[in-house]
Amino acid sequence: MSTKKNQVSARISSIGCLAFALMATTISVLVSMYTGLQMGEALTDKLALGSVGVLAVFFAHFLLALCRPASVGVRIGAFALWIFCIAYVVFSHANFFALSQQLAGLRRVAALDQSSSGQAPRRDLMAILSDLGKVKNGIGN
């Protein structure tokens, strides 16, 4: 009976790990595709960089597992290619986060420009200090 429970538990654990792996791969593919589409100038450049990013993600996630039954020489070559893919994916993800920070900063600057719109303040400092003194006298300080 306990072996059946262990088998069921192992199966559920495997399904959970597979689900998390698929989610991580999907998010990584989307981030790499978005980064590639943002980096290029022309449409062909954008599509090429996005496609390279997707391939790099798939190789980074699956290459070593697919080359596991191969010979030692093939596995060494696959490992070298895997290192390159990991480096490219790390670069594209770092570029994605830097671009996101830049766009967020631009949105904040645009919001600040709209709110201030270059107008001078309506009240000068002396009027504000006068009102502050009146409030303090009214409170009893």
What percent of the chain stands above pLDDT 70?
91
Amino acid in position 130: S
Amino acid in position 106: L
What backbone phi and psi angles, to 5 degrees, belong to 117? 45, 20
pLDDT in tens, 1-36: 567 777 777 777 888 888 998 999 999 999 999 888
Residue 127 has pLDDT above 90, yes or no: no
Q: Global pTM?
A: 0.65
Which of 42, 40, 20 has its CA nearest to residue 92? Answer: 40
Domain boundaries, the chain: 2-139
Least confidently predicted of 52-61, 63-72, 113-122: 113-122
Residue 130's Cβ-side half-sphere holds a number of Cα atoms within 13 Å equal to 5
